[in-house]
């Protein structure tokens, strides 16, 4: 995360870090009051860390389970921050289309 481009991408978002085993009170993007642990269970989280991205209405856009390479994280952040999910709801299809357009 020390690369300047990744923190810069996160600054464009409202980010919250939670301990999935804690009883920390939280309000979900859908407005439900719960605990971090109960919400993690409801989301069926199996790995830590897991990054979950939501749109402005509280709908899940994409989740990244476990540790990923920085190249993929940068791509996911670009997908979310540019709102590409609005035109292409499949990240995998978007990634392939954009990789081909970029000549990669």
pLDDT tens by residue, 41-88: 999 998 888 999 999 999 999 999 877 788 889 999 999 999 999 999
Q: Are 52 and 63 in contact (CB under 8 A)?
A: yes
pTM listed for this prediction? 0.84
pLDDT at 38 over 80: yes
Contact call for residues 97 and 73 (beta carbons, < 8 A): no
pLDDT range class, residue 4, cuts 50, 70, 90: confident
What is the per-residue pLDDT for 54? 96
Helix and strand element counts for the chain (H, E):
4, 4
């Amino acid at each position: 995360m020390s690369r300047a481009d990744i923190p810069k991408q996160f600054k464009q978002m409202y980010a919250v870090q939670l301990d999935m085993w804690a009883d920390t009170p939280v309000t979900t993007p859908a407005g439900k009051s719960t605990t971090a642990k109960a919400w993690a269970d409801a989301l069926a989280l199996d790995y830590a860390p897991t990054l979950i991205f939501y749109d402005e209405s509280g709908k899940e856009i994409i989740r990244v389970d476990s540790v990923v390479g920085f190249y993929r994280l940068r791509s996911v952040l670009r997908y979310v921050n540019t709102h590409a999910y609005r035109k292409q709801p499949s990240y995998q299809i978007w990634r392939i289309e954009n990789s081909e357009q970029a000549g990669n």
